[in-house]
Amino acid sequence: MEKVTTIPLSAGPIFGVEVYVFNFLSLFAEYSMTVSYTTTITQQSVAGIATENTDSDFGTEIGIGNNSKIGIVLYFYDIKRKSKDKRKEKNP
């Protein structure tokens, strides 16, 4: 019988940039740096003899975040309402 227990732990910052192409459309990209530590414990029992092995792994990863290379954001707003508000400001 074999039992494998894995305990992962990872953390890291994400940096991003957003560029407005128009007032309703922007493009963004995120860059992440991750540090991870994983412990794997393997327990085996063969013919009544139990053995346990522990393996640890440490790693770093740098790359594009948010599971994509680039993103697009559309901002929806009421154009008619905005134009009415501007007209009210001009004519008090």
Say if residue 92's pLDDT is above 60: no
The reported pLDDT for the residue numbered 16 is: 85
The domain locations on the chain are: 2-90
Q: Which of the two residues, 76 and 85, has the higher pLDDT score?
A: 76
**HEC string of 14-75?**
EEEEEEEEECCEEEEEEEEEEEEEEEEEEEEEECCEEEEEEEEEEEEEEEECCCCCCEEEEC
Looking at the chain, the whole-number percentage of residues with pLDDT higher than 90 is 22
Tell me the pTM: 0.49
Average confidence (pLDDT) over 36-44: 92
Rounded to a whole number of angstroms, the distance between the first and last alpha carbons of the chain is 83
- Comparing 9-13, 43-47, 69-73, the range with the smallest average pLDDT is 69-73
Rg of the chain on CA atoms, in Å? 26
Q: Which of the two residues, 58 and 84, has the higher pLDDT score?
A: 58
b/e burial code for range 37-57 (CB count within 10 A of at least 16 → b):
eeeeeeeeeeeeeeeeeeeee
Read off the pLDDT of residues 63-77 as tens digits, 9 standing for 90 and up.
Answer: 776 665 678 888 887
